Structure 1
Amino acid sequence: MLIEKSIAPSLDTLRPTKPTSSPTFPVYDHLEAALTKVEQQPDPTVAHTLAVASGYAYSDAETVSTMLARMGLTGAHCLGMHMTVDAMFIRSTAYLIQSSDGSVVILAYRGTEPTNVVNWLTDADVHPDKIAFPFPKPQGAEAVDADAYAVHAGFYRNVRATRFAVIAALKRALEGRSVLDDDEQTPMEPMEKPLTTLYLTGHSLGGAMAALMAVMLSVEEEYVELFAPVSKGAYTFGAPMVGSPEFAKACAAHEFLDRNVIRYVYRKDVVPHLPPSDSDDFQHFGREYRYDRSEWKDTSDDPIMQMSDLIGLVELPLGFVASKFRGLRGLPFRFSVNDHGPQHYISAITALTEGKTLNEFGDAHLIPAK
């Protein structure tokens, strides 16, 4: 497993050394406190911060830590964990970003890399695996072994690949240590505070991995006692479906997963409709927010459904070509590859701040055109 380590720049480094009329960083003052005090999800500051984390998870630890420093987590510690096994269709990347005082940790998973065929094969490995998840039983129900639920084999394999390294680092954070402090011979200085606030996030495949990890931390006995008190939520962007309708139903019956797994869907993004129903039965869980006509709407009562046929997949390349020509952009294609880009999610999420917030480059954000 490849490990990356980075410590984000300080505020003085981010700010310009000469007077300038351009906006300066950070985007949010006292971001650690803002992320900690949230009592009800979703929250616009959390959504904006996690959208940036999920988008830049496609980069490296230094870039991730720098972008989160610009958002307000200056001096943050960033640990990157990567495992690649091509024959097993594994290309798993997870970043842990820990605030400089130690109290807040963001777990961001990297999504599908369009240029990487292994990632595409991972997404296409849709045959479900039966996995035992010990969801709590209704009061009075007979105690039985954990029920087995069908989940996407490729997604589960990838989140499992880096899981133990992620858990080990999170345990260090709970002990008030740096997530980077993995050398027992030369330990780092302790953090000011132990972990009190944990968020999970990811775009595309990364969102699927974040959702599955949220389930593991919420129902598996060895993790619940440790992480339930600090877990605040999982925000996913353009994430596909991860499990069967029975799995989704069990998640919906779990109060934390039902209320604190937040799914954002940008316009006609095709990925939230995948895998197609021709491959197997899959269904979303959590609360859904859909972006259209320059605003986000809670569509939890009318959630995104599986693509019902393969015609939509055939449409995708045609829609992509049409999007490049002004005269063809109005054609009524049902799904879009273009709308899946993480940059669209970051730009649209800033609309939640109602024009009060800069983007990660320090510029006044622009609401995407209708």
Structure 2
Amino acid sequence: MAGGDSLTTEWERRMRDILQLGGLWRRDAKAPTYEELRPYGHRETSGFPVYKNLETRLLNAVDHPDPEIAHVMATCAAYSYSDPETLSMIMARMGLEDNECRMIQTSVDAMLISSTAFLIQSKSGKVGILCYRGTEPLNFINWLSNIDLEPERMGYQISDPCATVHAGVYRNVRATRYEVMNALRDACDRRSIRDLGSDGGSRPNGTAQADQAYGAEQPGLENLEALYITGHSLGGAMAALMGVMIRHERKYKEAFADRLKAVYTYGQPMIGDPSFADACESDEFLRRNLIRYVYDSDVVPHLPSSAAGPFRHFGREYHYRVPHLRNSVLSLLTNARCASQVRKGQWEARKHATSQMTGLLGLPISALAFIARKFQATRSLPAMYSIDDHLPQHYISALTPPGVQNEFGD
């Protein structure tokens, strides 16, 4: 009977998590072991995990962008649209064995706030990946309209007193920031980021009470040494703004700036005006180690449009170009396998960042391009702006190094 009561309690807790529609809530996961992930055959093979010694690479990387790390972060950003169990499992397959994952989420529909952050802690505790989820795909069209129609701006205290940022991005970051910082503090103090309380509730307030309930340190864990921040779409904008906050807000700079190794974003919209971008460019770390990837004609990096006033990117941009016209002809003359090979493009560093969309005409153009991609005859035609190119799987495929397995290690 006691066992049944325990199962009922667990079921009720999970249902409460699933059904909660507003407010801030947390959910934790621990990655399955390699024995669980590969119940048949060898535990490790030439392709599994995808990257051997990934934790060491993340710790020791000096120059960014690193092609393998860019692939790992793109995969992490793409799977942040799932749940902590799935994301933790995928990151284990990528090479972070026995990682732990915490999801922090809050929503306020009336304020257009839907903020979800994941913090992944490596087995040793030395590496952390903070990943922000982008806009839910089913809400994507609405978000395009929301971000493009005269977005509200908020002043941001940086080197230029006139600098402003997109208010929606700012509020989404701030809505979960205190819980994210609490989790990072735990990681810096050799604590597990998971909620280890037996009741599954929130962590108690107060250092002494927290230490008594959860333990000041967890056996085998080291202090956080290397922090990476990543995200796709709106999640990329939140990741970039969090990177700025860690670099420029004193209370966070002292604790985390030396641990922050790089920020990798994918399909990121602009988050601030030219004054804000210039201030960020004056920071050598942000200028060199905030890496933005833009896949072909992805429309989102061009937003907000010029109709909303001036916005501008900062950091280093890498752009992937697909040879559309040549592939369009060959797709009619060759089989699908050859056509897909021709479609391969390459990443190029850009001296000039992606510019703003002029007016609002680009939005219907991007929608038409999405429809065109559904038909073989028009699939590879060039487009000025494309919603289809914004999908996260394109970023994973384009950033997978030659000879490297997919994220499942197949």
Q: How does 1:1-370 map to 2 (within 5 A)?
A: 1-18=24-41, 25-116=48-139, 119=143, 123-124=147-148, 126-135=150-159, 147-181=161-195, 182=203, 184=210, 185-187=212-214, 189-293=218-322, 294-299=345-350, 301-350=351-400, 353-355=401-403, 357-363=404-410
Q: Distance in 1 between matches of 2:155 and 2:228?
A: 24
* Number of equivalent positions: 349
Q: Distance in 1 between matches of 2:274 and 2:42?
A: 57
**Structure 2 residue identity aligned to 1:158:** N
Structure 2, gaps ≥5 residues long: 1-23, 196-202, 205-209, 323-344
Q: Distance in 2 between matches of 1:4 and 1:241?
A: 30
Change (3 A) 1:233 1:21: closer
**Structure 2 residue identity aligned to 1:362:** G
| Residue aligned with 2:71, SS | helix
Q: Distance in 2 between matches of 1:4 and 1:29?
A: 28
| Residue aligned with 2:193, SS | coil
Q: What TM-score comes out, normalization by structure 2 length?
A: 0.81
Deviation by residue 1:211-241 (Cα, 9 ceiling, x = unmatched): 0000000000111111111000100000000
| Residue aligned with 1:239, SS | coil
Q: Distance in 1 between matches of 2:242 and 2:104?
A: 15
Change (3 A) 1:218 1:20: closer
Deviation by residue 1:34-68 (Cα, 9 ceiling, x = unmatched): 10100111101211111111000000000010000
Change (3 A) 1:27 1:243: same
Flag the structure with higher helix content.
2
Kept after mapping to 2: 8 A contact 1:239/1:263? yes
Q: Distance in 1 between matches of 2:162 and 2:382?
A: 41
How many Å apart are 1:122 and its aligned residue? 5.3
Kept after mapping to 1: 8 A contact 2:269/2:302? yes
**Structure 2 residue identity aligned to 1:186:** A
Kept after mapping to 1: 8 A contact 2:35/2:43? no
What is aligned with 1:142? none
| Residue aligned with 2:285, SS | helix
How many Å apart are 1:23 and its aligned residue? 6.5
Kept after mapping to 2: 8 A contact 1:178/1:190? no
Kept after mapping to 1: 8 A contact 2:148/2:308? no
Q: How much is the aligned-residue C-alpha RMSD, in angstroms?
A: 2.0
Q: Distance in 2 between matches of 1:126 and 1:157?
A: 16
Larger Rg: 2
Deviation by residue 1:221-269 (Cα, 9 ceiling, x = unmatched): 1111111110001000000000001110111111111001000000100
Kept after mapping to 2: 8 A contact 1:126/1:154? no
How many Å apart are 1:121 and its aligned residue? 6.3
| Residue aligned with 2:310, SS | coil
Q: Distance in 1 between matches of 2:378 and 2:279?
A: 43
How high is the sequence identity, in percent, across the aligned residues? 48
Out of 321-330 and 2-11, give the one that drifted further: 321-330
Structure 1, gaps ≥5 residues long: 136-145, 364-370
| Residue aligned with 1:186, SS | helix
**Structure 2 residue identity aligned to 1:250:** A
Change (3 A) 1:190 1:90: farther
Out of 176-185 and 96-105, give the one that drifted further: 176-185
**Structure 2 residue identity aligned to 1:159:** V
